[in-house]
């Protein structure tokens, strides 16, 4: 069994060196686990490539959306763009693939820039869509209003 495992590890190592995909992403377990920084550094080249691909996709999807809106309105693409309307296309960040890592990154940013917590951008970065952001803001306002009423009623009874 060991010769087969050694052969598979060898193939995975060759694939990893040719593609830049880390061995750990190929399921090859090391006896000495890497630090978080080492894991991130090993994936950095892939993340940069993926981000470039995503940027191209965002432009393409935005252009397609502009074309659809132009066709819907019976306008040319140039006329549609002259209206000044923009379609925002959002993708998750490839360096933060999990909800946990995304949340940790936002927490670190909010600690450094406290007013960021009041921004819809932070909520979108956590993966909430526009409808959910709107609902969260509405729920927050309702809760704040209820707290203010309770506080006013509590102060009036003393």
pLDDT tens digit sequence for 28-54: 776 666 676 776 676 777 788 888 999
| CA atoms within 13 Å, Cβ hemisphere of 53 | 9
Widest distance between CA atoms in the chain: 81
Q: For residue 75, which phi and psi values (nearest 5 degrees)? A: -115, 165
- The pLDDT assigned to 90 comes to 79
pLDDT, average across residues 7-35: 79
d(CA 11, CA 7): 6
Task: Give the pLDDT band (50/70/90) at residue 77.
Answer: very high
Residue 97's pLDDT is: 66
Please state, in angstroms and rounded to a whole number, the distance separating the CA atoms of residues 84 and 75.
13
C-beta separation of 133 from 123 below 8 A: yes
């Amino acid at each position: 069994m060991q010769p087969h495992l050694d052969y598979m590890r060898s193939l995975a190592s060759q694939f990893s060196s040719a593609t830049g995909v880390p061995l750990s992403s190929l399921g090859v377990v090391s006896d000495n686990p890497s630090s978080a920084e080492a894991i991130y550094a090993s994936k950095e080249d892939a993340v940069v490539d993926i981000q470039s691909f995503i940027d191209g996709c965002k432009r393409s999807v935005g252009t397609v959306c502009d074309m659809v809106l132009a066709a819907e309105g019976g306008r040319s693409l140039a006329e549609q763009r002259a209206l000044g309307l923009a379609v925002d296309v959002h993708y998750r960040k490839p360096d933060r693939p999990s909800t946990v890592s995304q949340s940790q990154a936002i927490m670190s940013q909010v600690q450094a820039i406290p007013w960021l917590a009041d921004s819809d951008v932070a909520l979108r970065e956590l993966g909430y869509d526009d409808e959910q952001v709107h609902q969260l803001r509405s729920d927050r306002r309702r809760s704040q209003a209820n707290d203010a009423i309770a506080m006013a009623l509590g102060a009036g009874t003393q």
